[in-house]
Amino acid sequence: MTNKPLAGINVLDMSWFGAGPIAGRALANAGARVIKLETEKRIDGLRAMAPRPKGARGYNLSGYFNNYNSDKESVTIDLTSEKGYELGLKLIQWADVLLTNMTNRATDQIKVDWETIKKVNPKIVAAYMPMMGATGPYKDFQGFGAMLTAICGMNYLSGFEKNRPVGVGTNYPDYVVNPMHAYIAILSALRIAKKTNKGQKVELSQNESSIASMSLPLFAYDNAKIKHQRLGNRVAFAAPHGVYRCKDDEHGNEKWITIACIDESHWQTLTKIIDNEQLTKQEFNNLESRKKAEDQIDKIISEWTSGLDHLQAQATLQDAKIPAGVVQNAQEVTEDSHLSQRGYFVSLDHVEAGARIYDGTGWKMSQTPIGMEKAAPLLGEHTFDVCTTILELPPEEIAELVAEQVLF
C-alpha cells in the first residue's frame, strides 16, 4: 500500500530470532520495503522453532518466525563467498536502512560493520543491536530475552518473597522494549538523514534498552538506597494489590482477578463493595497500616472473590472505577471480544502454514493506514525477483550463482 507512512523506504534486514525481526516487521507494517537477507548455510533459528502445525516439518512453518516476519521479502545469499558478498554490498547500496542484531564479532566477520558499509553507502542508517552494546567488557556476550531479563534485574524482582528469582514468563525485552526502541531510533535517524543527506550508525544495546523498563527499583535505590525485593503480586506503593481466585468455570478451570488499590479512593470504594466490617476498621485507613495487614486483607478479599464469576467481579470493580482485570490465558486472549471488535489480530493465509492469526501493530493512525498485509515469506521466495529487479542480474548469471551455491 503506497500511502503508508514509510512507503518508499528500503530496508535490508539481516537480523534473526526476535528483537531485530520484530523491529523490521514494524517498519514493514508501516510501508517500508523490507528484504530479509538469509542463507541456507545458517538458517534463522526461529524458522526451526515450534509452534508449527502438528506433525509438520520445514523452514516455513514456525508460528514465531511467520508472526515476526510478515510483510517482508526473503532473499538467500551466501555472504561468506566472494560473489555473495559483492551482491550483499549492492543491496546495502540500495537500502536506506540496514538492520542487524548479530553479535559484534559476527558483523565484523562478514564485513558489515559500520566502518565498512558507510563507505559503500554514506546515506544509510545502519542499526546494530548487539546484546550488550558495541563497547565495554561484555560486548561479545551472546544471549536473548531470557538472559536479558536476568541481567537487567527483572528476574530478581520476579517471584515470591524468600523464594528464588524466576523468569517473567516471556522474553519480554525481545518482544516489546528492544524492537520498539530500535524502531524509534531508526525513524529518528531517517529524519536526520533526510535533512542532511547523510546516514549514521544507530547502536542499541539490548541490555540498556531493557534496563530502561526498570526505572522504579533503580531510582528507589539511587535516591533512597531502597533495595526492592521479590513481593509476588504485591508492590510497595499500594495495598491491596494482588491476584485473587474467583469461582472456577463450568469445566473446573481456575479463574483469577487482579485488583490494585492505587489510592485511598479505590480502597474506600472497595470496602463499600465488599461490605465486610473488618475492612472498615480505622486501623486500615492509610497505606502504611494496610501494608502491615496485607495477609489479613488479602484473605478477606479472596473470600469475597471466591463466590464470584471472574467476569462479573471485573465488571463490578471497573464500574466502580477500581483498577481490576481478569487473568487470561492465551486462548482467552485470542478469543477476547474486545480485541476482536477492535480488529487487533490479523488473519493471513500462509502458503504452507495455512490461515493463522498474527499480532496487530499495537497502534492505529487516524489518517494513514498501517498494518500487515502479507504473510511471512518462504525461505528464499524472492531471490530471483530481487536479483533481476534490484541487482539487475540476467537469468543466466542467476542460474550460475545458484549452481555455485552463492544463491539458494
Active site residues: 174
Burial label, 333 (beta-carbon count in 10 A; 0-12, 13-18, 19+)? exposed
Nearest CA-CA partner of 217 in 152, 280, 273:
152
> Pairing state of beta strands 324-326 and 256-260?
antiparallel
| Torsion sign over Cα 208, 15, 1, 125 | positive
Q: Give the three-class secondary structure for 260.
A: strand
Q: How far apart are the C-alpha atoms of 304 and 211, rounded to whole Å? A: 38
Place of cell 560493520: 113
Distance CA 377, CA 353 (A): 11
What span, in angstroms and rounded, lies between the C-alpha atoms of 379 and 270? 55
Instruction: For residues 406 and 76, give the distance between their C-alpha atoms in angstroms, rounded to a whole number.
Output: 8
Residue 297 burial by CB count (10 A; 0-12/13-18/19+): exposed, middle or buried?
buried
The alpha carbon dihedral of 44, 45, 46, 49 has a sign of positive
